[in-house]
Amino acid sequence: MKSCCIVVAGGNGSRMNSTIPKQFIQIGGVPILMHTLQQIHKFDLTIELILVLPASEIAQWKDLCQNHECLIPHKIVEGGETRFDSVKNGLKHTKGFELIAVHDGVRPLVSHQTLSNCFEKAATSGTAIPVLPAHESVRKGSLNHSTPVNRSEYFLVQTPQVFKANILYDAYNQPWKAKFTDDASVVEQVGVAVHLVLGNRENIKITFPEDLIIAEAFLKLDLSIEGKL
């Protein structure tokens, strides 16, 4: 199936204690976002990449691409006020594709196996999101009162989340709601079931300073480049 991937990169770096947008912070001498695009591109050279960035960061990204001699083909789209709006803007450039993935720009360690799991499942079932079983004890409540829950019933959700195009178009025609935390929640709101596939533990979302240390360590192992994570 003809596929594309919308890569959403709108982080401002506040939780990283950085004045640089977190997707532009370097690991291994290369911006995080560039690692992400490279990983998807190497998985399948035919997947069209649509990069959604805040308008204020597009010029900086183009400079980074020139400085790092980034030749990964991708289309740049201006983002919106929320992640929902940014994905919606990206969808305007997906005409003719049968499968559409949406991926976080700051998840550079997604494995080729995770990508394969997602695209294969979405091709047959219409939807696919990568998850990991919760491996620590889980409690529900607040700091003042909580109760334990059965961790075997809970999963940690990752990206890319992949859908047949008509499903995603229909979902993003509805108004934004505060409970939309990812694309799966948007799709489920219109009554479509979401199917789970296994992700990879290294597919972290780089959010905090310590995440940079973890990501750097994985990249030094040179596992993600070969898709072995």
The DSSP string of 187-223 is HHTTT----EEE--TT-----SHHHHHHHHHHHHTT-
For residue 65, the model assigns a pLDDT of 97
Domain coordinates in residue numbering, the chain:
3-226
Q: What's the pLDDT score for residue 174?
A: 97
Residue 165 to residues 16, 127, 202, 205, Cα–Cα distance (Å): 34, 10, 28, 25
Q: Residue 162 — φ and ψ, nearest 5°?
A: -120, 140
Q: How far is CA 139 from the centre of its chain?
A: 26
Residue ranges of the chain whose pLDDT lies below 70? 11-17, 222-229
Residue 51: predicted pLDDT = 98
Whole-prediction pTM: 0.93
* CATH class given for the domain over 3-226: alpha beta
